Amino acid sequence: MLRAPEHPRATSSPYVFEHILVAGSVIGRYLVEGESVHHLNGMRDDNRPENLELWTRPQPVGVRVHDAIEWARYILDRYDGTEMNLISNNDQSEL
Domain ranges, ordered by start, for the chain: 2-79
Rg of the Cα atoms in the chain: 15
pTM to 2 decimal places: 0.73
Residue 89 has pLDDT above 70, yes or no: no
Indicate the SS3 state at residue 20: helix
Which amino acid, 71?
A: W
Indicate the SS3 state at residue 72: helix
- Over residues 4-34, the pLDDT tens digits come to 999 999 999 999 999 999 999 998 999 988 8
Task: Spell out where the chain has E strands.
Answer: 2-3, 15-16, 35-39, 52-56
